[in-house]
Structure 1
Amino acid sequence: MTKLSVNINKIATLRNARGGNRPNVVQAAKDCERFGAQGITVHPRPDERHIRYQDVHDLKEVVTTEFNIEGNPTPEFLKLVKEVKPHQVTLVPDAPDAITSNAGWDTIRFKEYLTDVIADLRESGIRTSIFVDPVEEMIEGAALVKTDRVELYTESYATGYHSNRETAIAPYVKAALLAKQLGLGLNAGHDLDLDNLRYLKDNLAGLDEVSIGHALVCDALYLGLENTIQQYLHQLK
């Protein structure tokens, strides 16, 4: 079964909008696990507009499933993750002012840089994943920098799903097959929801994990968090 990692950034956004500690991000992570999530994802940004660096330290103390930290590998980010030592670090090339991640790595252009970062994280015993577009050249480049996994950036799939899902999924099928041929683990994330998740899972061979936050938290407003997580898990069975 493909694992579900719940991204709790939006819960932190809600907390920060009012100040104080409501909703409690740490408790939310514990509840997600209690309701069946097999991982917790956070994406701390330099301005700490949602997940704060202190949240990451606090979550490390309570997360009992897989802890995945996403982010651009700035010196501050690398210092944080080497202190916390999560199970997985997902490297994302987002600008500091980006609203959300909007592109994968150019693994050819940044080969030397990514190789050094990944080697550094491996020395700390941390599994790495690289956020990439479904482009075979970028998958090949990811293997060359010796990452453990790739995370396919699924926005274009989600955008095209309702108009022509066969066309939308096609480049992801090729990318997934190549990743597995090259010995890479396979994750996916961005704009996945209850409508498009099952089709993605059914068509990507060897999909290890999906990371879902925005849509899942939005669904939870109407369906409740426990029910929502169960519905996402059902799509992955």
Structure 2
Amino acid sequence: MAALLSPEEWTALLLSLKVSIIAVGTSLPLGIWVAVVLARARMPGLWLLNALVHLPLILPPVVTGYALLLTFGRKGPVGALLERYLGLTFAFQWTGAVLAAAVMSFPLMVRAIRLAVEAVDPKLEQAASTLGASRLWVFLTVTLPLILPGVIAGLILAFAKAMGEFGATITFVANIPGRTQTLPSAIYAFLQVPGADMQAARLAAISVAVAVGALVVSEVVARRVARRIGGA
């Protein structure tokens, strides 16, 4: 692949992989917790949490990116504090691309895991509780193994979504080659240059291959894990 891609294209691909892996990996624990809360909790105002989680799927990505810029930009209420006390900057940095990808892919992850949690028979967890196991131990030894196919499916689908994220990313961190230019941003940049159709088509083909590959891997891995759990 290194021979097929130019250094600029290769840099954009590697940055997309880096951004997607970090975005999905860091948001996974929160995604599991939110999915369990939405599936099992019974409390007033839960609809608001559900709406906030799925809001990025409904809003135009540019609006989400603008909201991130207002909140996590250097003059934003959160961004200013993070830069002052932790030296962490998101706006126009690759870390901002990670944040944008995490926000946009989070609803898909939560939805897949939530469906898996709702499919678990609560009686199995109750049986473990009656034997004296704590809630955390019940979750780690009973619930988590049973929802593992959903976790894997959500993880891979979120990764594919993060790889293809464009609108929120370019609004929040711009399109700086070698710094914030991910694969979709590079495709967009090539489309603005006369005679660069082949480069854009090449990167688009890679994006399609990654997305299809992620869907296939998600289905295969989830089925294998489900079979192992069913035969345990």
Say which structure is richer in strand.
1
TM-score, with length taken from structure 2: 0.27
Task: Determine which structure has more spread, i.e. the larger CA radius of gyration.
Answer: 2
